[in-house]
Protein backbone atom coordinates (compact mmCIF):
# COMPACT_ATOMS: atom_id res chain seq x y z
CA UNK A 1 0.00 0.00 0.00
CA UNK A 2 2.84 2.37 0.81
CA UNK A 3 4.25 1.94 -2.70
CA UNK A 4 0.89 3.03 -4.16
CA UNK A 5 0.98 6.13 -1.99
CA UNK A 6 4.54 6.90 -3.09
CA UNK A 7 3.62 6.42 -6.75
CA UNK A 8 0.64 8.73 -6.25
CA UNK A 9 2.90 11.36 -4.71
CA UNK A 10 5.34 11.08 -7.63
CA UNK A 11 2.53 11.56 -10.16
CA UNK A 12 1.22 14.55 -8.20
CA UNK A 13 4.70 16.11 -8.05
CA UNK A 14 5.12 15.71 -11.82
CA UNK A 15 1.66 17.03 -12.71
CA UNK A 16 1.82 20.07 -10.42
CA UNK A 17 5.54 20.72 -11.02
CA UNK A 18 6.32 20.72 -7.28
CA UNK A 19 9.83 20.33 -5.81
CA UNK A 20 10.52 16.61 -5.35
CA UNK A 21 12.84 17.05 -2.38
CA UNK A 22 10.08 18.71 -0.33
CA UNK A 23 7.11 16.52 -1.23
CA UNK A 24 8.84 13.13 -1.46
CA UNK A 25 11.32 13.77 1.41
CA UNK A 26 14.31 12.78 -0.74
CA UNK A 27 17.75 14.19 -0.06
CA UNK A 28 18.91 17.29 -1.90
CA UNK A 29 22.70 17.46 -2.24
CA UNK A 30 24.37 20.75 -3.10
CA UNK A 31 28.09 20.52 -3.85
CA UNK A 32 30.23 23.64 -4.11
CA UNK A 33 33.55 22.82 -5.69
CA UNK A 34 35.46 20.07 -3.87
CA UNK A 35 35.30 21.76 -0.48
CA UNK A 36 31.68 22.19 0.64
CA UNK A 37 28.54 20.06 0.57
CA UNK A 38 25.04 20.71 1.92
CA UNK A 39 22.61 17.84 2.38
CA UNK A 40 18.96 18.66 2.95
CA UNK A 41 16.40 16.13 4.26
CA UNK A 42 19.01 14.05 6.10
CA UNK A 43 18.12 11.74 8.98
CA UNK A 44 21.27 12.08 11.05
CA UNK A 45 24.99 11.37 11.10
CA UNK A 46 25.83 7.67 11.11
CA UNK A 47 29.62 7.97 11.08
CA UNK A 48 32.08 10.86 11.40
CA UNK A 49 35.75 9.91 11.04
CA UNK A 50 38.91 11.61 9.81
CA UNK A 51 38.53 10.37 6.25
CA UNK A 52 34.89 9.29 6.00
CA UNK A 53 31.43 10.64 6.87
CA UNK A 54 28.19 8.70 6.50
CA UNK A 55 24.88 10.62 6.53
CA UNK A 56 21.57 8.75 6.81
CA UNK A 57 18.70 9.57 4.40
CA UNK A 58 15.34 8.04 3.48
CA UNK A 59 16.82 6.57 0.29
CA UNK A 60 20.14 5.14 1.51
CA UNK A 61 23.17 6.47 3.38
CA UNK A 62 25.40 9.03 1.68
CA UNK A 63 29.11 8.39 2.18
CA UNK A 64 31.64 11.19 1.79
CA UNK A 65 35.35 10.33 1.58
CA UNK A 66 38.15 12.85 1.86
CA UNK A 67 39.94 14.65 4.70
CA UNK A 68 39.88 17.59 7.12
CA UNK A 69 36.10 17.48 7.61
CA UNK A 70 34.33 20.18 9.58
CA UNK A 71 30.62 20.65 10.20
CA UNK A 72 29.78 24.26 9.32
CA UNK A 73 26.05 24.00 10.00
CA UNK A 74 23.69 21.36 11.32
CA UNK A 75 19.94 21.49 11.93
CA UNK A 76 17.06 19.00 12.07
CA UNK A 77 17.10 18.33 8.32
CA UNK A 78 20.09 20.23 6.88
CA UNK A 79 23.83 19.74 7.29
CA UNK A 80 26.74 21.61 5.67
CA UNK A 81 30.18 20.03 5.70
CA UNK A 82 33.51 21.57 4.71
CA UNK A 83 36.66 19.66 3.82
CA UNK A 84 38.52 18.15 0.90
CA UNK A 85 36.22 15.67 -0.84
CA UNK A 86 37.40 12.72 -2.90
CA UNK A 87 33.98 11.13 -3.41
CA UNK A 88 30.31 11.49 -2.52
CA UNK A 89 28.13 8.42 -3.12
CA UNK A 90 25.06 6.49 -2.05
CA UNK A 91 25.94 3.24 -0.29
CA UNK A 92 23.76 0.18 0.32
Distance of CA 63 to the CA centre of its chain: 10
The tens digit of pLDDT for each residue in 4-40 reads 777 776 776 677 776 666 666 789 999 999 999 999 9
Q: Is residue 45's pLDDT more than 90?
A: yes
Q: Which pLDDT band, with edges at 50, 70 and 90, does 54 fall under?
A: very high
In the predicted model, what is the mean pLDDT of the chain? 88
Direct distance between the N- and C-terminal alpha carbons of the chain, in angstroms, rounded to an integer: 24
- Sketch the domain layout of the chain as residue ranges: 24-90
Fold of 24-90: Immunoglobulin-like (2.60.40)
The pTM of this model reads 0.78
Q: SS3 of 14, please?
A: helix
Amino acid sequence: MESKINRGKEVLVEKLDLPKDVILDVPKIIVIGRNEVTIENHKGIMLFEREKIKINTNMSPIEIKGREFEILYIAASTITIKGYFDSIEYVG
